Amino acid sequence: MTNPATRRAISLAVLVGALGYFVDIYDLILFSMVRTRSLTDLGLSPDQVRDQGIFLLNMQLGGLLIGGIVWGVIGDKRGRLSVLFGSITMYSVANIANGFVHGVDSYAVCRLVAGIGLAGELGAGVTLVSELMSKQKRGLGTMIVAAPGITGGLLAGWIGGAFGAGLPWRTAYFLGGGLGIALLVLRIGVAESGMFRTTLSKAVERGNFFKLFARKRIPQYLAIIAVGVPIWYAIGVLYTFSNNLGTELGLAEPPNVARVLFFDYGGATIGGILSGLLSQRLQSRRRAMAIFLGLLAASVAAYFLVGGLSSTLFYALCGLGGVATGYWVVFMSTAAELFGTNLRATVAITAPNFVRGSAVLATSGFKFLTPPLGLVGAALAVGVVAFAIGVIGLVSVRETFHADLDFHEVDDADPQAIAAA
């Protein structure tokens, strides 16, 4: 039975992880909510708003790629708590600065720095919770961190104008930065993972990102990244540019992007809970992800086939797609369970950010294919590729539900490390 001190440590880690992810999601999608309004206010034409919007989104996503590697390495070398502190501080300061921008160049710098900061919090939180909890319950811990945390998207949607004028876009950025700074106070009492502290006394190399490219590790690393690609295709293309796509599909009035993302993240909150519970029920990460990936494919097909019939149906399909993307919760559990303690934070932090970063390729492909195929044709073509990648990844990734996390990754050629592990 877990003693009271351990229960308190777990409860605080889960609370800080959930609140941190709440702020993380709010800041992550805020740009998509205020993209049109902020760039129009800066003096850009409608065509420039779309093109520069893709550029700024890609800067943020590029920051996630850079930050994923940086924070992942720090998480395994210096500890999970150092990432929680550093990443929250960085994205909070960047978002406050974003409220003062007066041009696209400064806007781009702020989105890049914010992206780097946003890269660390979720993976570090999930790693910490997974290492503190038993194998029977750690999936529920991840669910409690990730699913409620996704509701940060609902706050961003409301503030971004999902059902009214919303707050001024500069104020919205100030709020995100302020929430992050307030969260740092809670982080003070969180305890470090015992598994990580034990690793410090062993002669094993920690946080070497390039160790993931060893022949025995790279297939699983690429597989878990691939599983998440369809999620960020849906978010980065179908929902972020739903105003353009909705019109092309036949809607008389362009969909409100903030409202689309509000329904998307509302659905994702529900889907995160359902996917986590389903994984526990089936005692399988892979089977739960397979069911939700199939649901996502069905919702995307309906988006293209009947989404243009009415605005109400369009928003409903975006909400259904959000429910399906809720397998992100199980994806995060799997990423944290695939590899040993000395590489766990590196994987749990880099994998979701490489998935988020895959939206750079998706949006770039969408932009490149639009002239020859049209907006709808380009989005559909990119989607076919994204789902093919996701299915290949799901077939390849191993089951981790019953995995024991108290082990280390060592190379066969290093007998000293093998003995220490």
pLDDT of residue 217 exceeding 60, the answer is yes
How confident is the model over 2-19, as a mean pLDDT? 80
pLDDT of residue 209 exceeding 70, the answer is yes
Would you state the pLDDT for residue 2? 61
How confident is the model over 301-316, as a mean pLDDT? 97
Q: Which has more pLDDT, 50 or 368?
A: 368
Write out pLDDT tens, residues 355-392.
988 988 998 899 899 999 999 999 999 999 999 999 99
Would you state the pLDDT for residue 421? 46
Cβ pair 119, 60 in contact under 8 A: no
Crossing angle (nearest 10°) for helices 328-337 and 285-306 = 150
CA–CA distance, 421 with 413 (Å, rounded to integer):
14
Helix (H) and strand (E) counts for the chain?
17, 0
How confident is the model over 108-128, as a mean pLDDT? 92
Residue 43 zone, left/alpha/beta (φ > 0; ψ -120 to 50; rest): left
Would you state the pLDDT for residue 413? 53
Residue 33: phi, psi to the nearest 5? -70, -40
Q: What percent of the chain has pLDDT over 70?
A: 97
Would you state the pLDDT for residue 320? 97
Would you state the pLDDT for residue 417? 45
Could you give the domains of the chain? 4-188+209-420 (1.20.1250.20)
Would you state the pLDDT for residue 384? 98
pLDDT of residue 81 exceeding 90, the answer is no
Closest by CA position to 279, among listed 266, 269, 292: 292
At residue 42 the predicted structure's pLDDT band, cuts being 50, 70 and 90, is very high
Write out pLDDT tens, residues 231-274.
999 998 999 899 999 999 999 999 998 899 899 999 999 999 99
Would you state the pLDDT for residue 412? 58
How confident is the model over 40-63, as a mean pLDDT? 88
How confident is the model over 123-140, as a mean pLDDT? 88
Would you state the pLDDT for residue 160? 79
Would you state the pLDDT for residue 416? 45
Cβ pair 157, 172 in contact under 8 A: no
Q: Which has more pLDDT, 365 or 185?
A: 365
Locate 99 and state its tokens.
Answer: 């409220």
Would you state the pLDDT for residue 304? 97
How confident is the model over 84-113, as a mean pLDDT? 93
Burial group, residue 354, by CB count within 10 angstroms (0-12, 13-18, 19+): buried
